[in-house]
Amino acid sequence: MRPELLFPLFAEVERIKGVGPRYAKLLEKAAGPQVVDLLWHLPAGVIDRRPSPPIAEAPDGRVATLTLTVLRHQPSPNRRGPYRVVCGDGDDEIDLVYFHAKGDWLEKLLPVGDVRVVSGRVERFQGRAQMAHPEHVVPEAEAAAIRIVEPSYPSTEGLPMRTLRRAIEGALERLPDLPEWASPSLVAQRGWPGWNEAVRRAHAPSQADDLDPASPARARLAYDELLSNQLALALVRARMKRQKGRSLRGDGRLRDTVIAALPFALTGAQREALAEIDGDMAAGTRMLRLLQGDVGSGKTLVALIAMLNAVECGAQAALMAPTEILARQHFATIEPLARHAGVRVEILTGRDKGKTRAAVVGRIAEGSARIVIGTHALFQDGVEFRDLGLAVIDEQHRFGVHQRMSLGGKGQVVDTLVMTATPIPRTLLMTAYGDLDVSRLTEKPPGRRPIDTRIIPLDRLGDVVEAVARKLDQGAKVYWVCPLVEESEKLDVAAAEERASTLRRRFGERVGVVHGRLKGPEKDAVMDAFKNAGIDLLVATTVIEVGVDVPDATVMVIEHAERFGLAQLHQLRGRIGRGDKDSTCLLLYGAPLSETGRARLAVMRDTEDGFRIAEEDLKLRGAGEVLGTRQSGLPTFRMVDPSAHSELFPVARDDARLLLNQDPELEGPRGQAARVLLYLFERDAAVRYLRGA
C-alpha cells in the first residue's frame, strides 16, 4: 500500500486549484496525469524579467518589464484584425497587441490613464515598438512579483505557459515532508539539499547555471531516481536468488559432440562466458546472467552449448526471440548442430495454428522436445514444459522484465540467460540489467573480415547505383535500407516500395522488398529467395536489423543514414561481413549534415567496436534516445541524464547494495524511508518482494 503521506502527490492534476478538465488534459499531455508528474517536469530554460529599460532602450526581440501609462485603445475595424492598446512612458510609445481578445476584458485589464507594469517580448515593426500578448500585466504595487527570473517549461500546443507554471506552483504547495532515504554522509559530501528543498530549488532557477544537470538540486533528484531504480532491481534479484536453485552439471557428452563438429575453434571470450554460465548453472541458486555480445560474436553458439548442458541433465531448454524472423534464424542455426548430437529441437511462433501448434505443444509437454525456440508464444497460457531448466531470452530489451520472469515461471526453478547483440553503455547496463550478472563477448569468430564503411552524399545516388550494379555482376548480394520516415511505419513502407520500384527499372526481378507490414509467410519467402536464389538486391526497412544471416551479402546501402541512431546503424551494418569475403557499407546522407549527424557517421566510419559505438551514441544523443529506449523496455528517466549523471550510476548501485546488506527487509529508519522512495517513483512491485510487505 502506498504510504498516506504520498497521497497528495498521486492525486489527479485536476485536484490542483484552478485546473479545470480542459487544461487537465493538456497538462497530462505535457507532463502526466498526476500531481507528482508536474514535480518531475523540470524547467528547460529561464526568462529574466528583471530588465526594466525605457521603451527606447528595450532590445528588439528580448523580454523586458516596462512601467507604462495606458494612453488609448484601438480596436480593429474588423473582427480578425489585432486590438491595440497604446501605452507610453513619457518619452516613447509602445503598442500592446492582442488577437481574438474581447474589448471589455482589455478595458478592465488596461484602463485608460492608469499605470501598469507590463512584461513580455519587445519587437519593432516599421520602427515602432510593440509587445504581442504580454505575459504579465499588473498594477505598479505588484511590480516586484513579476520582476523575477521565471522558469520556462517544455509545453504542448494550447497550454499557456502561465497556466503550466500555476499548475506546477499548485503541485509544489502539496509537497510533503518526506524522511531522508539518502546516506547522510553522501548528502553532506555532495552539498545536496534535502528532497523537498531540491524539488523547490529545481523549479526556481535564478540563472541559467541552475538548469545544469550537475547543479546540486538537479543532481540530488537524479540520484533519488537512480537509487529507486537500483533498489528495485536489487530487490527483484534478491527475490529470485532467494528461490532455491537447482544444480545443472551435465557430463559434457552432447556439448563435446557439437564443439567437435564445428569448422572452427571457440574464441577465448566464448570459452570464458561458458565457464561463467557453467558455474552459475552448477550452483544451488538460480542463474540470472546477461550475455552481451557484439554483432557476429557468436552468442547463439554459446546459448546452444548452455542449453545442451541442461539437456544432459535431463531438463529442457527454451530460447525466446522478439520476432519471428529472428526465431526462425536461430532455429536454422541451432537445429542442424543439435540434430548432430541427437537432440530434438522444436519451433513455436504465433504463426503456428491448429493441429500443427497442438502437436508442438504436446511434444513440449511430454518432454520429447528437448530444446524449444520461439517468440512470445512460448510464455502464453497452454504452453507447459515437462521440465524447463534453462530459459534463454534474446534481445531482452525488446521484452519487459515481467515477460522475462513469466518464461522463468514455466518451470520449477529455471536458470535465466539473457542475450543482447545491442551493445549497451555501462551506465544504461546498470539501470536495465542491474538484477543480472554480465558476461561479454568481445571477439569476433575467426575468418570475419573488417567492413569498409564509406560516407557518401545522397546527390551521388546515381554513382551508388552503378557501384551496386558492378557488385551484383560479381555475384554479390546487396541490402538497400530505406530511411526512417518520421517514425511512421506506413511512410517507411511507402519509401521502401518506391525505392524498390525505381531499382527494379534498372535491375528487374532481381530486386525484392521486405518491410514490417508483410505477413510472416511473405516475409520468409522473400528472405529465402534472397538467401538462396531469385533475389540479389533486397530493399528493406529496419525489419532486417536483427537476426538475418546471409553470408553472401557483402554490400549494404543505408539511405539517409543521419536519421538513424548509432546503435541501429551498427546493428544494420552487422548484417554484412558474415562470410569470408570483403564487405562494404555505404552511408548515404542528406545535406546539410548537423554536427551530431556528422559526428555519428564519422564514428561508424572509424570503428566496428559496438561497445565504443554505444558509448559514443549515449554522448551524442543523451537520455531517452539510445536503443530507442522509449519502445525498448529499458528504463526511461524523468530527471536522470545518463550522459551527464554517469558518475552517479555506480554510487546509487553501491548505496542500494549497502542499504540492503545492512537492512535486507528495509525495516530500520532509513529502510522505511527507502520504502517511501520506491513508492514515490512507482516501484510498488519491488516493495512487494520484501518479506515484511
- pLDDT over 60 (residue 312): yes
Residue 669 resides in a domain: no
Residues 369, 311 share a domain: yes
Range of the domain at 270: 253-441
Query: Confidence class of residue 629 from pLDDT cuts 50, 70 and 90?
Result: very low
Is position 15 within any domain? yes
The number of residues in the chain equals: 693
Helix, strand, coil shares of the chain, percent, nearest 5, are 45, 20, 35
> Is 535 a residue whose pLDDT tops 70?
yes
One domain for residues 389 and 339: yes
Do 431 and 529 lie in one domain? The reply is no
Phi and psi based region of residue 312 (left: phi greater than 0; alpha: psi -120 to 50; beta: remaining): alpha
- Among 568, 585, 607, which residue terminates a domain? 607
Together in a domain, 31 and 94: no
Helices 324-340 & 299-312, crossing angle to 10 degrees? 50
pLDDT for residue 484 = 57
pLDDT at site 566: 82
Question: What strand order describes the sheet that includes 371-374?
Answer: 345-348, 371-374, 316-320, 388-394, 415-420, 288-293, 437-441
State the CATH number of the domain containing residue 54.
2.40.50.140
User: 60 in a domain, yes or no?
Assistant: yes
pLDDT higher at 404 or 387: 387
Please write the tens of the pLDDT for every residue from 462-507.
999 999 999 999 989 999 998 755 444 555 566 778 888 999 999 9
Highest mean pLDDT of the ranges 206-210, 289-293, 455-459, 681-685 = 455-459
| Average pLDDT of the segment spanning 515-534 | 81
Q: Which triple of cell numbers denotes residue 434?
A: 542491474
Confidence of residue 543 (pLDDT cuts 50, 70, 90): low
In a domain, 673, yes or no: no
Inside any domain, residue 197:
no
pTM of the model: 0.68
Is residue 492 located within the same domain as residue 415?
no
- Maximum Cα interatomic distance, the chain, rounded to a whole number of Å: 99
Q: Dump pLDDT digits (tens) for 1-43.
A: 889 999 999 999 999 988 988 899 999 999 999 999 999 999 9
Looking at the fold, whether 366 and 483 belong to one and the same domain comes out as no
| 603-616: pLDDT as tens digits | 999 988 877 887 77
User: What are φ and ψ of residue 192, in 5° steps?
Assistant: -85, 145
Nearest C-alpha neighbor of 566 from the set 546, 596, 526: 596
Joined together, the cell numbers standing for residue 630 give 522509449
Give the model confidence (pLDDT) of 40-98 as tens digits. 999 999 999 999 999 999 999 999 999 999 999 999 888 788 999 999 999 999 999 99
Instruction: Give 581: exposed, middle or buried? Use CB within 10 Å, 0-12, 13-18, 19+.
Output: middle
Residues 419 and 524 in one domain: no
Higher pLDDT, 230 or 448: 230
Reported as a pLDDT band with limits 50, 70 and 90, residue 368 is very high
142 occurs within a structural domain: yes
Query: In this structure, is residue 97 part of a structural domain?
Result: yes
Mean pLDDT of the chain, nearest integer:
86
What does the block give as the cell for 638?
A: 524523468
- Identify the CATH number of the domain in which residue 514 sits: 3.40.50.300
- Residue 307 and residue 414 share a domain: yes
Q: Say how many domains are in the chain.
A: 4
Residue percentage of the chain with pLDDT more than 70: 89
Q: What angle do CA 537, 539, 540 make, to 5 degrees?
A: 135
Instruction: Judge if 436 and 522 occupy the same domain.
Output: no
291 has a pLDDT exceeding 80: yes
Taking 50 as the threshold, does the pLDDT of residue 424 lie above it? yes
Is there a single domain that holds both residue 261 and residue 379?
Answer: yes
Q: Is 126 buried (19+), middle (13-18) or exposed (0-12) by CB count in 10 A? A: exposed
In this structure, the answer to whether residues 318 and 407 fall within a common structural domain is yes
Tell whether 85 is covered by a domain.
Answer: yes
pLDDT reading at 546 higher than 80:
no
- Alpha-carbon span 322 to 547, nearest angstrom: 10
Q: Among residues 90, 26, 9, 105, which one has the least CA distance to residue 54? A: 90
Spatial neighbors of 642 by CB under 8 A, at least 6 apart, are 425, 427, 428, 431, 618, 622, 623, 626, 649
DSSP character at residue 475: T
Model confidence band, residue 668 (pLDDT cutoffs 50, 70, 90): very high
Statement to judge: residues 11 and 64 lie in one domain: no
Q: How far apart are CA 393 and CA 303, in angstroms?
A: 10
